[in-house]
Amino acid sequence: MGRRENPIEAAEPALGRLAVWLREQREQAGLTYRQLAARTNYHPTTLQRAAGGRSVPSWKVVEAVTRECGGDLKTARRKWAQANYWSHVPRPSGSRRLRAPRRVDPQQVDSFADLRRAMHEMRRKADWPSLRELDRRARDRGSRLPSSTLALVLKGEAPLRKPVFLAYMEVCGVREARRALWAAAWDRTNNARAPIPVNSRTHHSEFARAMQSSSAGTSTDILFRLWVTLRNSLAAERDEGPGHPGHPGHPGHPGHAGHPGGHPGGAGREGTGDSPSVLV
């Protein structure tokens, strides 16, 4: 049967289980890698890597090995899907869950983290196309999904903007009716992320609360820093004046109720394209 294989050193448990299962199928069939390569038309090195546990093999390789070894394709598909899912989605710290999370309901989504988790599920159902492949599909439809940007979005290191979300769902083959539900979930989640505007009133409230609680142990250093922040905020607004476009009371200011941007405090929400975004 050839020399003994190296131990499996998989960083992801699900990937390790897939590697072990592939090795068991080959051993039960009594085949060497060379014999298996001759039957599957894959190079022996490719088959060894598939059972090595360092990276997720393609489904075609797993399917070919399973067929030639007389294994169960349903089991092979389940193990491959789990390994593929967890190789793309980092597990929560300390998680020992063996299965992928349940299907996300768009009508119960209340965070961008849920939306990103749903994006991973959409990609899984599309048989895990590469990021470059997703960008190619988007370009064929007249849009763009740059792989570098999409990688950051899926990791939660870049804001999920609505055009990106809509294009991503389309290239992953999500049905139109389903896309409408997810678009509504994005709107609902994005609208719920309006932060409280920070101005002199905000700093004044913080300073007043600190003064009231000073007898309870608030340090003089904290009080002084709050006072300096309040003083600087008032000075900045006084210098700008009520007629300055950057002043909170000016009609052209983004936080003003009459501004075309809508409601006060709209800046900073994730997904908006006209203001700095807040990451989830």
The string of pLDDT tens digits covering residues 18-66 is 888 999 999 899 999 999 999 999 999 999 888 888 888 888 999 999 9
Segment (H or E) for 79 = helix 73-88
pTM > 0.85: yes or no = no
**90-140 per-position pLDDT tens digit:** 555 444 454 444 567 888 888 888 888 888 888 878 877 888 899 999 999
Query: Tokens standing for 117?
Result: 């988790």
Q: What structural domains and CATH numbers belong to the chain? A: 13-88 (1.10.260.40), 106-191 (no CATH), 198-264 (no CATH)
Burial state string for 228-257 with b = 16 or more CB within 10 A and e = fewer than 16: ebbeebeeebeebeeeeeebbebeebbbbe
